[in-house]
Amino acid sequence: MKLIAQGAESKLYLNENKVIKDRFRKSYRIQEIDGRLRKFRTKREAKILEKLSLIDFSSPKLIETDKKEKIIMEYIDGELIKDILEKKYKTLSSEIGKKIAILHNNNIIHGDLTTSNMILNNKNKKVFFIDFGLSFFSDKIEDKAVDIHLLKQAMESKHYRIWDKAFKEIIKNYKKEAENSEEVLKRLQKVEKRGRYKGKK
Ligand SMILES: Nc1ncnc2c1ncn2[C@@H]1O[C@H](COP(=O)(O)OP(=O)(O)OP(=O)(O)O)[C@@H](O)[C@H]1O
Ligand SMILES: [Mg+2]
């Protein structure tokens, strides 16, 4: 077993073609709360991965979970979008925009859309989304707008050279594919005017 990533919340190991995501104990959190939170996010991520399989979305297939702290899923071999976006932002962004629309059409909010949570698969050359620990089901326009807003913020800081062109492409394609896209994008403008999202509805 090889450690492939150490996230803020978890350690990820590669074993053959499987990834083990282990949400480790956080020493600074009260133990009872920590245990509940890890369990909640693990179960949530597993549930969303199952749903995504059913709709044939490009994400890792869930293999197993202990419903407490471990998820075993399919390994997606490829490069993080974060590392390759600048090179070919146009085609990547258009695919990303369409895929966010598919998530939202299924009332799935990713909750942590960043280019570190997307992988271009070497095998089929498709963009895969990962990291569904903060995801949830919602049909609310507000939740969809905030999902996109967070991606925009992440892109502004990580891809300052091309983020505006890339983001435009994402929106153009989201618009084409998403139900209620007009409402969502109108709300996005409001969310932005409101400045930093404070969780107000
Ligand atoms: N199924 C997978 N296939 C290939 N690589 C993966 C897979 N899942 C996760 N990774 C790699 O591990 C990293 C961290 O995974 P993930 O984002 O799910 O965990 P995290 O704890 O939320 O991390 P972070 O706090 O950094 O977002 C990813 O950025 C990716 O490089
Ligand atoms: Mg991540």
pLDDT at residue number 166: 98
Kindly list the structural domains of the chain, giving each domain's residue range(s) and its CATH number in brackets, ordered by start: 2-74 (3.30.200.20), 78-193 (1.10.510.10)
Nearest CA to ligand 1 atom 26: 7
Q: How far is the CA of 72 from the centre of ligand 1 (A)?
A: 12
pTM of the model as a whole: 0.94
- pLDDT tens digit sequence for 115-155: 999 999 999 999 999 999 999 999 999 999 999 999 999 99
Q: What is the mean pLDDT of residues 33-52?
A: 96
pLDDT at residue number 30: 86
Q: How far is the CA of 4 from the centre of ligand 1 (A)?
A: 9
Lowest mean pLDDT among 46-50, 149-153, 191-195: 191-195
pLDDT at residue number 51: 98
Nearest CA to ligand 1 atom 17: 131
pLDDT at residue number 140: 98
Q: Which of 12, 115, 121, 126 to mutate to test the pocket of ligand 1 (most atoms within 8 A of CB)?
A: 12
- Give the per-residue SS3 of 41-88: HHHHHHHHHHHHHHCCCCCCCEEEECCCCEEEEECCCEEEHHHHCCCC
Which amino acids bring their CB within 6 angstroms of ligand 1?
4-5, 7-10, 12, 19, 21, 60, 73, 75-76, 80, 116-117, 119, 130-131, 133
